[in-house]
């Protein structure tokens, strides 16, 4: 069984959801052109990731496993995540319109973010307790945020740099992301 510190360190750095497991790359590359968008997406992903991970844990351990329906976990998790995001959007639109407006397009985009589904499946695969699953979700969300914020800061600086035309935008973004991923590989033996 993994220790709490091991789960946190691994989720933040060693098994970073974006840079090591390559989940959530759409939002990573799509909204990282400026820091404001990166922070908005990170907040939305973190909130939904923690909620979806907890709900998925309960669905799997209290419903699917006792009735020998574990093979349905992907379908059930997809439906749970979509319902959660839809419910959150409706609730925020009615009760917190300013926050709903600030989140803008980020909340609906999360429905298709594979990092959300990935963390739910990882928690099930590793047979984490509810506490460890929650710690893993929080740490993974923090790792996602760190990667996205650092990447957006680098991309903002690259906008001011003089680059060859063939390297502008996506090519330099992919090279930068790969350099970030390589930098974390040195930590792989530490967890």
- Helical ranges in the chain per DSSP H: 4-9, 25-30, 35-59, 73-95, 97-103, 106-110, 114-125, 130-159, 170-185
Structure confidence at residue 38 (pLDDT): 83
What radius of gyration, in Å, describes the C-alpha atoms of the chain? Answer: 18
How far, in Å, CA of 151 to CA of 149, rounded?
5
pTM over 0.75: yes
Q: How far apart are CA 21 and CA 120, in angstroms?
A: 14
pLDDT at position 127 is: 95
| Cα three-residue angle 179-184-189, rounded to 5 degrees | 145
Q: In whole angstroms, what is the distance from residue 6 CA to residue 145 CA? A: 19
Q: Mean pLDDT in each 10-residue stretch from start to end of the chain (191 residues)?
A: 85 90 82 80 88 96 96 95 88 79 71 88 95 96 93 87 84 88 76 51
Sign of CA dihedral 91, 97, 103, 106: positive
């Amino acid at each position: 069984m993994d220790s709490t510190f091991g789960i946190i360190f691994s989720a933040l750095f060693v098994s970073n959801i974006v840079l090591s497991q390559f989940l959530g790359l759409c939002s990573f590359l799509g909204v990282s052109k400026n820091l404001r968008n990166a922070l908005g997406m990170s907040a939305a992903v973190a909130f939904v990731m923690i909620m979806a991970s907890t709900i998925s844990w309960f669905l799997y351990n209290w419903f699917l496993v006792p009735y020998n329906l574990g093979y349905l976990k992907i379908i059930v998790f997809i439906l749970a995540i979509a319902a959660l995001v839809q419910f959150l959007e409706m609730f925020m639109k009615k009760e917190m319109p300013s926050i709903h407006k600030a989140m803008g397009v980020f909340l609906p985009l999360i429905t298709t973010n594979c990092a959300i589904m990935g963390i739910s499946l990882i928690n099930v695969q590793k047979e984490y307790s509810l506490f460890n699953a929650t710690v893993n979700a929080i740490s993974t969300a923090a790792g996602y945020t760190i990667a996205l914020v650092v990447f957006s800061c680098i991309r903002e600086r690259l906008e001011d740099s003089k680059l060859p035309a063939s390297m502008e935008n996506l090519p330099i973004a992919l090279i930068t992301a790969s350099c970030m991923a390589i930098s974390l590989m040195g930590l792989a033996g530490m967890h």
